[in-house]
Structures are given as structure tokens and as C-alpha cells.
Structure 1
Amino acid sequence: MSFYQYITEKRNDNEELKSIMETVASSLKKHKTDEIKPGVLLGLINREKRVLFWVLWQNVLMKIMMLL
């Protein structure tokens, strides 16, 4: 059993969701990725950078408020 089949059965994914996932997967396979153009990985890295930025910014704001 493939991981795809396992996870879709475990979550009881409907046919519409499966179709969307298959379309996205086939689209990703069509585009060549390498070290310069990592594809999906870049989106994950950017998300982590945004989260880190907001956490750091909140810490800075808290310190500024404590000084006032």
C-alpha cells in the first residue's frame, strides 16, 4: 500500500480532494527543480521565515513596552 493510499483512506478523503491532490502532484512533477529552483521547499522555508520574523518582532515589542 502506498503512503498516498494509506493517508487518504485513514483521513477518509473524498474524491474531490483526491483529485486536487493528484492534480497538484502531477503539476509539481512537470516542473524541474534543482538547487537554484527548489520548488515546494521554497514555500516551506518562506513560511518558516515569516513565523520566525513575527515571533522575534513580538519579543522586541514586549521589551519596548517593558521599558516604557
Structure 2
Amino acid sequence: MSRRIDVYFVFEAKMQDFINTLVLICAAIASLGLGVLLAFAVCKGAFILLRSQADVPAPVPSKAQTAEV
């Protein structure tokens, strides 16, 4: 009877190790995805700020200038 119990505990321990490994892999992938999304948001915000500054037109001179030959 003790042999059956030992086999059960070994199987349970291996299954727990597998689940822990799977959870760690999923957490690593999720953190990489979160980092990519955060970097995208920072870049998108920076480009929006730069574009809003570029939309301001340059001042136009008020009088016409002619070229002298």
C-alpha cells in the first residue's frame, strides 16, 4: 500500500513542478508583452507631442521682398 502512495506523491510533485513552470513561462511572456505595450505608448505619446509642435506655422514676413540684380 505504501508503494502506491509513494507513486501518487511523486506524480503529484512532478505535476506541481510542471504547473509552476507553466505559470512562470506565462508570467514572463505577459511581462514582455506589457513592456512592449508600454514602450509603444511612450513612443506614441512622444510622436503626438512632436507633431503638435510641428503644426504651428512659421511666421510669414509682412512685406514682400524683391531680389536685387
> Which bin holds the TM-score, normalised by the shorter protein?
0.3 to 0.5
Q: Based on CA coordinates, which of the two structures has the bigger radius of gyration?
A: 2
- Calculate the TM-score normalised by the size of structure 1: 0.47
- Calculate the TM-score normalised by the size of structure 2: 0.46
